[in-house]
A and B are shown apart, each in its own frame.
Chain A
Amino acid sequence: MAFRKIDIDALEEDAFGEDEIDFQEIGELRPVADVDAQVNSRAQEVSGNTSGALSTSLQNPPYGAPFHAAKARNTQTVMEVLNSIKVSDVPQLVKSLSPEEQDVLMKYLYAGMATPEQNNSGHLLAWHEKLTEVAGQGCIVRVITDRRTV
């Protein structure tokens, strides 16, 4: 918003604000405790279980502003799963995901690359390359447009 010095929406009584957009796209939020519990149980479920672990870790991600902790925990879970998979298995695995799961995986790849001190960006870039080959640029565009961030 740096290029625009005046917030013209401030003069509008009935502006289409961030809160409303988020509510429209995400809907009613679940209690934080429920989401935390779900994310933690998933982390238990996928640890040490490689077959289907990737798909499981991408189901029903926590969306919405209040879930900072759950989002970080789930990102960590997905990263652990990604790290446990050999690079040679990646193309096959990516192809087996549904289009929705591919979009969610792309969200987590970007979320992972946002914290380079915690994650191996080189490994994530390898995943990114393989995923883009399968799901195309459309998948990247959807990560940018989607308000449901991880």
Chain B
Amino acid sequence: MSDSPIVNEFNQGPISCHAFNGDRTELAICFNTNVVSIFRKSGASWTQTSTLVEHDKPVTSIDWAPKSNRIVTCSQDRNAYVWTLDGASHQWKPTLVLLRINRAATFVRWSPEEDKFAVASGSRCISVCYFEEDNDWWVGKHIKKPIRSTVLSIDWHPNNVLLAAGCADMKARVFSAFIKGIDKKPAPSPWGEKLPFNTLCGEFSNGAGGWIHGVAFSPSGESLVFTGHDSTITVVSPGTGDIQSIRAPYLPYLSVIWLNENQIVAAGHDCAPHLFELKGQQWAFSASLDAAVKKADVGFTARDTFRRMDSRAQSTTSTDTEVHTHHQNTINSIRSFSGTPEHVEQFSTSAIDGKLIIWNADSISRGLGNLHL
């Protein structure tokens, strides 16, 4: 396997969100419109096979359940749809979900067991949705208190009950999303023992204010990481009571994932994924995973120059503002691509420049591991 990242360029506009299916042969992607496009892998490229058209405002988030092969999408139109593949016609069929929110939906994720999903929204609540057999529809239960502003991101704990939320009121919180009749009583964890719905299990701030953009539970669920608009990343471990905030010297990170218990990758306005590592007891910035490629010597034609200006929404030519990374604009989503949650081998990033890149985390971390020895 090649060590260099695999760049997929779609040239259909900025990518607002993306999700792969279970075996990574299909891809759902939204180019900042109200339509979600489904692509199928054919050789090295991706061929569009269908579109999901039901939302009437831009789609903000997509998640694809790997085992049950269902897609959930949410949008600024305040709706979410669960899409199931009809076996006979091979068409994706939407089912409307009653979110009961009066502002845009911002983020959606299936729970690990795929029997629930959570939708974050601008109406200061999280809608935890589950299927009600009796009425044959998806219903949502709201987590409201003490959220004071838009919820920007969420992540599920591996136990299928706890939910982390990053919020525009400068707080990251951990809630219980326990649904009677669906969930079994969870085993006690550092986050709490009795966990009825809407229990607040933790509330954390970062260093210097700023919205919380991304949250992620560690593979074991023992720790939580979140990134803020103040360019910090904060790792919280309630078991040990440890809270560490790293003030990064770079632009803010929008999205974050764990590669394993000791490595975190965050990406955002700096256009490159950055690796953070646990060294001893201390978390620290380790390296940019995008080896700064100097592409300026290739000899650009005028057409290339204008195309590059367009991809960065830039109005004047200046060599000073050259971006020497594979992504040419803000990365807004980073997701695991292959491996297990305990050991992510590859991850994917999508960005405003319209590119989707698959990075080889394994070779990077191994290479760095050797360096540290």
Residues of A at the B interface (CB closer than 8 Å) are 16, 20-21, 24-25, 99-100, 103, 135-139, 141-142, 145-148
B229's nearest neighbour on chain A, judged by CB, is A145
20 contacts between A and B (CB under 8 A): A16-B148, A16-B169, A21-B169, A99-B247, A103-B247, A137-B250, A138-B247, A138-B251, A141-B210, A141-B229, A141-B251, A141-B252, A142-B208, A142-B210, A142-B230, A142-B247, A146-B209, A146-B230, A147-B209, A148-B209
Chain A contact residues, majority secondary structure: helix
Q: Is the CB of B209 within 8 A of A138?
A: no
Chain A CB count within 10 A is highest, among B170, B209, B232, for B209
Q: Given that A16-B149, A148-B209 are contacting pairs, would A142 and B170 also be in contact in the complex, using a CB cutoff of 8 Å?
A: no
Q: Considering the chains assembled together, what is the distance between the CA atoms of A135 and B230 in angstroms?
A: 13
Q: Which residues of B contact A141 (CB under 8 A)?
A: 210, 229-231, 251-252
Q: List chain B residues, Cβ under 8 A from A16.
A: 124, 148-149, 169
Residues of A within 8 A of B229 (CB): 141, 145
Interface residue from A99, A100, A137, A145 paired with B209 (Cβ < 8 Å) = A145
Residue in contact with A136 in the complex, picked from B208, B230, B232, B250, CB distance below 8 Å: B250
A137 in contact with B230 (CB, 8 Å): no
- The reply to whether A138 and B169 form a contact with Cβ atoms under 8 Å apart is no
- Do A25 and B247 touch across chains, with their CB atoms under 8 A apart? no
Picked from B124, B148, B149, B250, the residue with its CB within 8 Å of the CB of A138 is B250
- Within the complex, the shortest CB–CB distance from A66 to chain B, in Å, comes to 19
Prevailing SS type, chain B contact patch: loop
- Could you mark each residue 356-371 of chain B with 1 if its beta carbon is under 8 Å from any beta carbon of chain A, else 0? 0000000000000000
> Could you give, for residues 214-230 of chain B, a 1 whenever the CB lies within 8 Å of some chain A CB and a 0 otherwise?
00000000000000111
List residues of chain A with CB within 8 A of the CB of B248. Answer: 136, 138
Chain B: interface residue count, which band? 20 to 34
Min CB–CB distance B177 → chain A (angstroms): 23
Q: Which residues of B contact A (CB under 8 A)?
A: 124, 148-149, 169-170, 207-210, 228-232, 247-252
Q: Contacts of A21 on B, CB cut-off 8 Å? A: 169-170
Q: How far is the CA of A103 from the CA of B228 in the complex (A)?
A: 15
Bound complex: CA of A100 vs CA of B208, how far in Å?
9
B170 in contact with A136 (CB, 8 Å): no
> Smallest CB-CB separation from A99: which chain B residue?
B247
Minimum CB–CB distance from B6 to chain A (whole Å) comes to 29
Q: Which chain B residues border A147 with CB–CB below 8 Å?
A: 209
Report the separation of the CA atoms of residues A99 and B250 in the bound assembly, to the nearest whole angstrom.
13
Decide: B249 and A139 in contact? CB cutoff 8 A.
Answer: yes
A136 to B249, CA, bound (A): 4
Interface centre among B149, B208, B209, B247 (most CB of A within 10 A): B208
Establish whether residues B169 and A24, one from each chain, have CB atoms under 8 Å apart when the complex forms: yes
Q: Which residues of B contact A136 (CB under 8 A)?
A: 248-250
Cα A20 to Cα B148 with chains together (Å): 10
B102 to A: closest C-beta gap in Å: 10
**Residue in A145, A146, A147, A148 with the greatest tally of chain B CB atoms within 10 Å:** A145
Q: Are B210 and A145 in contact (CB under 8 A)?
A: yes
A99 to B245, CA, bound (A): 11
Closest approach, in angstroms, between the C-beta of B20 and any C-beta of chain A?
31
Quick one: closest A residue to B270, CB to CB?
Answer: A137
Are B149 and A146 in contact (CB-based, < 8 A)? no
